[in-house]
């Protein structure tokens, strides 16, 4: 069984108003990841994902690419200890303060 990993990421660039949160949600479903994504008041998108390490690595690559219409300047990503607290993936309201 693959090691579980949890990642918190902030995606900077032109990432709001282009369906970025829904892009993250679709990829999370495809990769069998759980967590959330939200718009940040700074204009960035924040996401927390948890699941098998290779899937989390693939999500980071997807975040760096983004959906059509997005321009990703950079992604800040930090590993956290997996908690197992999520049962699915949700798109949260803008400005969500996190967990």
Residues tagged active-site: 21, 39
Q: What are phi and psi of 63, to 5 degrees?
A: -60, -40
User: At 48, is the secondary structure helix, strand, or coil?
Assistant: strand
Q: Which residues of 68-88 are buried (b: 16+ CB within 10 A; e: fewer)?
A: eebebeebebeeeebeeebee
């Amino acid at each position: 069984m693959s090691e579980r990993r949890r990642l918190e990421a902030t995606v900077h660039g032109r990432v709001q108003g282009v369906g970025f949160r829904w892009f993250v949600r679709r990829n999370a479903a495809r990769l069998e990841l759980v967590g959330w994504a939200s718009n940040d008041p700074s204009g960035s998108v924040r996401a927390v994902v948890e699941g098998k390490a290779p899937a989390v690595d693939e999500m980071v690559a997807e975040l760096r690419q983004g959906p059509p219409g997005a321009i990703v300047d950079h992604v800040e990503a930090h590993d956290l200890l997996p908690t197992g607290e999520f049962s699915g993936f949700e798109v949260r309201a803008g400005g969500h303060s996190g967990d």
